[in-house]
Amino acid sequence: MRLTSGVLPEDLAEAIRGTARDIAEVLGDGGGRADGGGAGVGRSAGGRAGVAGHRGGLPVPRSTWTVGEAAAHLAHANALMADLAAGHERPYGDGTPGGLAEANELALAAFAERDPALLAEMITEQAEGFLAAVERRDPADVLATPLGAMGPAVLGSYLLTHMLGHGYDLALALGRPHMLDARRVALTLPFMVTAMPRVADPAAVAGLTARFEVRLRGGPGFGVTVADGEVRVAHEPPARPDCTILTEPVAFLLLALGRVDPWPVIARGKALGWGRRPWLAPRFPRLFRAP
């Protein structure tokens, strides 16, 4: 990451802004049209609303949400992140995946907008609001978030990770190209290293003792140690890993966020495992519950 005199690394700020714009493009009037046609010069306001309503009602794969609900969640979450960056305390769940899911549903029930085009504008505006707010912070500040205390740069990585996950969902639902790439995925690692111990599945890690080295193909990596029901994550790999996992970056993020299953990824050669206990590689993603 290219460091600047600002609070966020330059690459991270660019990725947040670019991802928000890409999501807005996915949600725009041209995305996922059921009639296959263009917007049409003479289309009425009612016709535009009808198309938008149809797109907003499309189901999101592997989710109980519709496109409109997922976009509304993103708009609300970006506003929440901007408030957190400004130093406002916004209680949101209890820090567990289940608590966050419950808070998400309550927030959706209180936020009625489902028009994808209007939500696209909110998502980009609130991403800009976050960037403006975070640059007024001290880099050493500690901010309260739904997943515990974080510095401003880690909070920016959290925002990017969240947008990439739901942006991928929206692109899949609307038949549009997704916005994940190796550069953006690498920028999610500060958040991943911070959050993974907090979203470990107690039942999955119980009784397991193992050391993992996880690498992104062509990029950075990190280490994970599981022992006595606890998970510790570090930017450096353990000295003697039991299992080394090498993943294609986009596949890594999709696995980490629960968007794909491990075995098809392994079968396509996008994830490889080796070491003294290579059979632990397919088990690794299931040690965590994506919030």
Rounded Cα gap, residues 256 and 143, in angstroms: 24
Other C-beta atoms lying within 10 Å of the C-beta of residue 65: 20
Asked if 141 and 152 count as a contact pair (C-beta separation under 8 A), the reply is: yes
pLDDT in the model for residue 44: 41
Reading the block at residue 244, the tokens are 């080394």
Q: Please state at what angle helix 97-110 crosses helix 67-85, rounded to 10 degrees.
A: 100
Reading the block at residue 145, the tokens are 């978030």
pLDDT tens-digit profile, the chain (291 residues): 444 447 999 999 999 999 999 999 999 964 433 333 333 333 344 444 555 568 899 999 999 999 999 999 999 999 999 999 999 988 898 888 889 999 999 999 999 999 999 999 999 999 999 999 999 999 999 999 999 999 999 999 999 999 999 999 999 999 999 999 999 999 999 999 999 999 999 999 999 999 999 999 999 999 999 999 999 999 999 999 999 999 999 999 999 999 999 999 999 999 999 999 999 999 999 999 987
Query: Mapped to the 3 state alphabet, what secondary structure does 51-75 carry?
Result: HHHHHHCCECCCCCCEHHHHHHHHH
pLDDT in the model for residue 1: 47
Residue boundaries of the structural domains of the chain: 10-34+41-187, 200-287
pLDDT in the model for residue 97: 85
Asked if 152 and 8 count as a contact pair (C-beta separation under 8 A), the reply is: yes
* Residue type, position 130, single letter: F
Reading the block at residue 151, the tokens are 């510095």
Helix (H, G, I), strand (E, B) or coil at 73: helix
Domains 10-34+41-187 and 200-287 equal at CATH topology level: no
CATH number of 200-287: 3.30.1050.10
| Superfamily of domain 10-34+41-187 in the CATH hierarchy | dinb family like domain (1.20.120.450)
pLDDT in the model for residue 52: 57
Nearest one of 262, 256, 197, 190 to 227, comparing CA atoms = 197
